Amino acid sequence: MKSVAVILGSAFGEQFPQDLSLKQREIATPWGQQQLYQVINTNRPAYLIFRHGIPHRLLPNQISYRAQAWVLRELNCGALMVTSSVGVLNDRLPLYRPMLVTDLIMLENRLPDGTTCTMFVEPRSLQGHLILNEGLFSVALRQQVYKLAPELIESPEIELIFAYVGGPRVKTAAENRTWHKLGADVNSMTLAPEIVLANELEIPCVGLVVGHKYSLPGIKVSGDRFAVSESLESSRRAMEEIIIRFLKEATEVPFSNQIFRFNNTNE
């Protein structure tokens, strides 16, 4: 039986999702030690990774993305959810409402340290080109997640394009206008590296995001600070409930992309 896993962002800080019994683990990888948490009250193996660490100490450029991906493969992950708080570039999209990502813009396929965003850093037999038959986000897994929490997630019919913008600084107004012109609906400093690396390891992925602000200049937002604070807390609770349902009820799905290899190991 394959496991399921969720990568959590800064929205959760040091707060563990409620109703979960967690056991801390640390696994050695070629890129250093990686901390994660095993969920021990589920019917199948399930894991949580806090991308910024516990306590929150890692900026987006300090995260060991390859180490995180490595442990997911070691734990036989068959369904991965990657979460992120995002800036919204499309005024037709709501704030504080969880949404599922459908596609990705990552103009330079690089990690924050400047190296190529790949697990294939040294020549080896199982390396190859990631061929996107259906895209980086699994259609079957996206449909499954929506069915787990239809009342909490924005309609799956919307196309949601995520733009990866490396941190740790925030974007300028001109940069946000450029991303919008390129077709991006939301952007963030994380999520993309995890999704790309997991796909290279043949792990089906789904991206779950929530907008905390409109990043495109000129979009007017109404409401007082109290209402915004309440909305932020409400969206965090919704994300938490989706994550809990995923960890307890999600099942593995087939990997629909392909690693094209040159050593007769292609399927």
Q: What is the pLDDT of residues 166-216, one digit of tens each?
A: 989 999 999 999 999 999 999 999 999 999 999 999 999 999 999 999 999
Residue 267 and residue 258: Cα distance in Å, rounded?
A: 8
Q: What pLDDT, on the 0 to 100 scale, is given for residue 17?
A: 65
Q: What pLDDT, on the 0 to 100 scale, is given for residue 19?
A: 75
- Give alpha helix (H) positions in the chain: 65-74, 139-148, 173-181, 192-200, 225-249
Q: What pLDDT, on the 0 to 100 scale, is given for residue 13?
A: 64
Q: What pLDDT, on the 0 to 100 scale, is given for residue 267?
A: 46
Q: What pLDDT, on the 0 to 100 scale, is given for residue 219?
A: 82
Nearest alpha-carbon partner for 17 in 250, 246, 251, 249: 246
Residue 129: partners with Cβ closer than 8 Å, 6 or more residues away: 259, 260
Residue 79 and residue 138: Cα distance in Å, rounded?
A: 9
DSSP output for 78-114 = EEEEEEEEEEE--TTSPSSS-EE--EEE-SS-B-TTS
- pTM (predicted TM-score): 0.94
Hey, where are the domains in the chain? Answer: 3-260
Query: Residue ranges of the chain with pLDDT lower than 50?
Result: 224, 266-267
CATH no. for 3-260? 3.40.50.1580
Q: What pLDDT, on the 0 to 100 scale, is given for residue 147?
A: 97
Q: What pLDDT, on the 0 to 100 scale, is given for residue 157?
A: 84
Any idea what DSSP says for residue 8?
E
Any idea what DSSP says for residue 67?
H
